[in-house]
Chain A
Amino acid sequence: MELALRRRAEEQRAYWLFVSPAVILYALVLAFPIVVSILLSLSNYNGGLMFGGKPWSIVGLQQYGKLIHDPQFWLAFRNNIYIVLISAFGQVPLGFVFAYLIYRKIVKGGEFWQAILYAPNIISVVVLGLLWKMIVNSNGLLEDVLNRLYAHGFLGSLNHVFANGFVMSDDLVRQLIKIADPGALATFSDPFTDLKDFLAGYTPDQLSVLKSDLTNLLARRWSPEFMARPGVAMLPILFVFLWCWTGLYLIMFLANMQKIDKEIIEAARIDGAGEGQVLSRIVLPSLSGVIANAVILCIAGSLNSFTLIWAMTGGGPMNVTEVLSIYMYRTAVVSVNYPLSNAIAMSIVAFSLVLIALTKLVEKRWGGRE
């Protein structure tokens, strides 16, 4: 009896000794900040010594009241929703489709696709963000490539117009106007006269110079203004989100598909089941739990969007690509408004809890079908 008690005490001592370092660290990094944050979001504390410094007090829910009427908060919230949507309805289904194609060997070279499509996940998000910024920004790769293509196409039409060499005529000017980009023509006050004057400056043996000058002047040009236009500034970001993390779900789904008993599928095929039936009757049901899990993970992950956006746009132009975490950071570090910043922090926590509860609910209702 005494021995059993002593053993029980030793058990408890060992348990707490093993568990407490992790619990303390975890509490310091996650639980405690949440408590601090709730407190600060209700207070008027704004820097300095929290204990023994300038007195501060709990002033109530006014920060949350401010947030409700804050257009920037709702803009950032909407951007967060976009990212959640592209994750749940873009990355996850696409990852599933890719995994299925590889699993059923509909596409060959599974190892290659896995290796390449997962690769963006391992590269620093800072690097990815700056890299894609250099691709989609003005003077970037995309602009360069597209304008080369436009110029090349226009040069083809020019060669056609100048098939018989350069002979000045009104008809030539009209033909040039016909092939020119309307946007480029709009910069002339009177395209016909202006172009005629322009052509008069060249002699017939300067045809190649003329062609390249005309290309610069009249070919269609694309400029990546979407990085500066509020309505569409999120598009490149969402695109990079889709590209970057689809591979993660591909890996998750494929690993679980490979656990399905191959003989079941073979038997179904022999009984005349089509690819669609294999998918809907065998693969989807046995993966429903994993899919629900992936959706939960991807929603949680899509709230960690700070770094990619910070590197790609910094939240700009004019803060239109801010998500809640960037808005929170800016409120704390740039405008130094701790109460408001903490109110934003708690709204992110609440947002993620609601989303997770929602997916759990959906999983309970429709998931786990076996």
Chain B
Amino acid sequence: MKYQVRSPLASRFLGTTGRTVAYVVMGLFAAMTIYPILWLLLNSFKSTPDFRLDKIGLPPKWFPVNYAGAWTVGEFGKFIPNSLLYTAAGTLGVLFFAIIAGFAFAKIRSRATPVLYGSFVMGILLSIQSVMVPLFIEVNQLDLLLGALFQSLGIMKATSFHLFYNTRLGMILIYIGSGLPIAIYLSTEYIRGIPGALVEAARIDGASFFAIFRSVILPLTAPIATTIAILQVPAIWNEFALINIIISKNELKSLPLGIMRFDGTRMTDYGKIFAALVVGMMPMLAFYVVFRKQITKGVAGGALKG
């Protein structure tokens, strides 16, 4: 039962118009999401000549061969495993380092905390893309520098040393480093909420911080670990800008780089492009369908004030 304001007629009129406008605008936004995805799906089953004849209708004959073609051209068989590795290792790395650091920031007194923690929080706002060129130069130089060291020791030639540049390890470390700011912010704030008495009691019993971390803190961090993982997985899986400049070796490329191959000269073989885009979209859509509630919660939590 709603209570009416002074002029019921005027307010009801405004309400109806407002409501209609709201539905139209939101409907437009929704349509711009739903229709292009359906359009993409339908056209991925059309042969290129059929697409040229009719861009919006149903496929006259279903043409699943597009997928086989796209799979070969995009080398998805090679890039999807790479993407899985980067995402899994990157996410686990972020989780591990963020939670141990968050424990230290939240529960161990140190004068270094304001500076260190503050710089992580600051990092949330700095765009990692803005340093992709110096980062590229840095990983390249690190290898050359270490290589020169090994050469002077007579172990190997300087140029054949690869630890960070164009390696899986280098890429994973970069993903961990760039994921840390938001993850450390979330884990620190969360662990701060765990009663200090739990830690104090264990300390009085003579437990070391490692033991406290393992037996007191770690079991309680499952919710925030889920949130961090759920934010990291799509971020790493979909990442393009950094891996595009850091990785040039074909065997190490990830799915987004494979999808990008369908831009440019191949932009005329529409059937394959649509199939490639569907392949690029599906894993994260499935992830979204399964984890929507947690994703929504994590995103909302990431915006909270610290």
On A, residues with C-beta under 8 Å from B are 7, 10-12, 14-15, 18-19, 21-23, 25-26, 28-34, 36-37, 40, 49-52, 97-98, 101, 106-107, 113-127, 130-135, 141, 144-145, 148, 243, 246-248, 251-252, 254-256, 269-270, 272, 274-275, 289-290, 293-294, 296-297, 300, 303-304, 306-307, 310-311, 314, 324-325, 328-329, 332-333, 338, 341-342, 345, 348-349, 352, 356
Contact = CB atoms under 8 A, between A and B. Distances in A.
Contacts of B259: 124, 126-127, 130
Contact of A15 (B110, B174, B237, B277): B110
A125 B127 CA distance: 16
A163 B173 CA distance: 73
Contact of A19 (B23, B104, B128): B104
Contact of A116 (B33, B126, B238): B33
A310 B173 contact: no
B249 interface: no
Interface residues of B, number: 100
A106 B127 contact: no
Contacts of A98: 26, 29
Given A33-B138, A144-B55, A338-B137, A21 B174 contact: no
Given A122-B234, A123-B281, A290 B138 contact: no
B36 A124 contact: no
A286 to B, nearest CB: 12
B178 A29 contact: yes
Contacts of B15: 106, 275
Interface in B132-148: 132-138, 141, 144-145, 148
A98 B25 CA distance: 9
A131 B97 CA distance: 36
Given A25-B173, A296-B125, A307-B241, A127 B178 contact: no
Given A144-B56, A275-B15, A333-B245, 12 more contacts: A29-B176, A107-B23, A117-B26, A122-B287, A130-B263, A130-B273, A243-B32, A251-B299, A252-B303, A255-B300, A300-B125, A352-B125
Contacts of B3: 269-270, 272
B116 to A, nearest CB: 6
Contacts of A328: 130, 132-133
Given A300-B124, A311-B260, A306 B129 contact: yes
A126 B184 CA distance: 28
Contact of B303 (A34, A144, A297): A297
Interface string B1-12: 011011000010
Given A18-B101, A311-B260, A124 B131 contact: no
A141 B245 CA distance: 32
B305 A303 contact: no
Nearest to A349: B130
A290 B305 contact: yes
B95 to A, nearest CB: 11
Given A117-B29, A134-B273, A252-B299, A29 B135 contact: yes
A33 B134 contact: yes
B262 interface: yes
Which of B11, B105, B138, B203 neighbours the largest number of chain A CB atoms within 10 Å of its CB?
A: B138
B178 A116 contact: no
A300 B36 contact: no
A25 B125 contact: no
27 contacts: A15-B112, A19-B101, A21-B101, A22-B120, A28-B138, A29-B135, A33-B131, A98-B26, A118-B299, A119-B285, A121-B299, A123-B285, A126-B240, A126-B256, A127-B259, A130-B262, A130-B263, A134-B270, A141-B55, A269-B3, A274-B11, A289-B305, A328-B132, A329-B132, A329-B245, A345-B131, A352-B126
B277 A131 contact: yes
B237 A124 contact: yes
A106 B22 contact: yes
A14 B108 contact: yes
A18 B103 contact: yes
A293 B305 contact: yes
A123 B284 contact: yes
A30 B108 contact: no
Residue among B133, B213, B238 having the largest count of chain A Cβ atoms under 10 Å: B133
B197 interface: no
B109 interface: yes
Contacts of B116: 19, 23
A266 to B, nearest CB: 10
A215 to B, nearest CB: 17
Per CB-CB distance, the 3 closest pairs between chain A and chain B, nearest first, are A29-B177, A255-B300, A14-B209
A11 to B, nearest CB: 6
Contact of B131 (A37, A116, A135): A37
Interface string B207-221: 011100100000000
Interface string B84-122: 000000000000011011011100111010001001100
A97 B21 CA distance: 12
A345 B181 contact: no
A345 B138 CA distance: 14
